[in-house]
């Protein structure tokens, strides 16, 4: 049976978008993946570029507010930042909850090279988490 997975972050622009891309990649037909934020900031162009480096296209993903999915019965809810975990709305569901506070690459400062490196570092952390999640939970 196909599972419904929600990845929740503050702005649904970087970390949750990257996780959505990797979960789709690793879960394939085992799950339907959604991502949302407690706010919406649009998909970060650097997140799109960073994922393209790993041959995953997230350019068609959208930044969605968590309220848009109030009618979806989720099997899993994954929060990828402390702010989203603390402010996560109540879901009337039996979803199993997971949390991992990934650093926000959008807050990286410095040269363009340093910022790209931070995006790649966080991308790798999220990739590892998503791959293990699919292996262990699906």
Q: Which of the residues are catalytic?
A: 9, 81, 88
Sheet containing strand 96-99, strands side by side: 31-37, 3-9, 76-79, 96-99
Alpha carbon distance 55, 94 (integer Å): 34
**Alpha-helix residue ranges (DSSP H) falling in 2-138:** 15-27, 45-53, 82-87, 112-137
């Amino acid at each position: 049976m196909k599972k419904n997975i929600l990845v929740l972050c503050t702005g649904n622009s970087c970390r949750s978008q990257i996780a959505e891309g990797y979960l789709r990649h690793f879960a394939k037909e085992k799950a339907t993946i959604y991502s949302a934020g407690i706010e919406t900031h649009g998909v970060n162009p650097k997140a799109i570029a960073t994922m393209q480096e790993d041959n995953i296209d997230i350019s068609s993903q959208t930044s969605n507010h968590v309220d848009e999915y109030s009618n979806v019965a989720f099997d899993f809810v994954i929060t990828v930042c402390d702010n989203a975990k603390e402010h996560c709305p109540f879901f009337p569901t039996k979803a199993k909850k997971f949390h991992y506070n990934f650093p926000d690459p959008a807050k990286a400062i410095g040269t363009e090279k340093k910022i790209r490196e931070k995006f790649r570092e966080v991308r790798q952390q999220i990739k590892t988490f998503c791959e293990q999640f699919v292996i262990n939970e699906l």
